[in-house]
């Protein structure tokens, strides 16, 4: 049986040192660059549950990363909040 995970998206101001990705399970890092300067970084991850996602947010805040926006979608729930299956 597979292990369904949610999806999270966290946008930070500026750049993000990839050494911190060890705190994530399977993270994609996308930097938004304008005129050679990293304006923002988006982290897309698949935490096992909401508690793990909140742990990531606390880690980022504790280390002074400037969080701009966050989004979390629980596994098995569609965009309208309906449980699938």
**Residue 84: pLDDT above 70?**
no
- Model confidence at 79, pLDDT cuts 50, 70, 90, reads low
- Structure-model confidence comparison of residues 39 and 83, the more confident one: 39
CA distance to 2, 13, 47, 72, per residue, from 7 (Å): 15, 20, 7, 6
Which of 39, 15, 13, 42 lies closest to 28, judged by CA? 42
Query: Rounded to whole angstroms, how far apart are CA atoms 10 and 68?
Result: 8
Q: What is the mean pLDDT of residues 65-80?
A: 82
For the whole model, what pTM was predicted?
0.77
Q: Which domains does the chain have, with CATH numbers?
A: 7-73 (3.30.70)
């Amino acid at each position: 049986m597979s292990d369904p995970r949610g999806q999270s998206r966290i946008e930070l101001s500026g750049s993000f040192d990839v050494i911190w990705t060890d705190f994530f399970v399977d993270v994609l890092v996308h930097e938004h660059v304008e005129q050679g300067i990293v304006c923002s970084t988006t982290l897309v991850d698949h935490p096992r549950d909401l508690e793990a996602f909140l742990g990531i947010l606390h880690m980022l805040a504790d280390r002074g990363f400037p969080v701009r926006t966050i989004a979390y979608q629980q596994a098995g729930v569609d965009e309208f909040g309906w449980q699938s299956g």
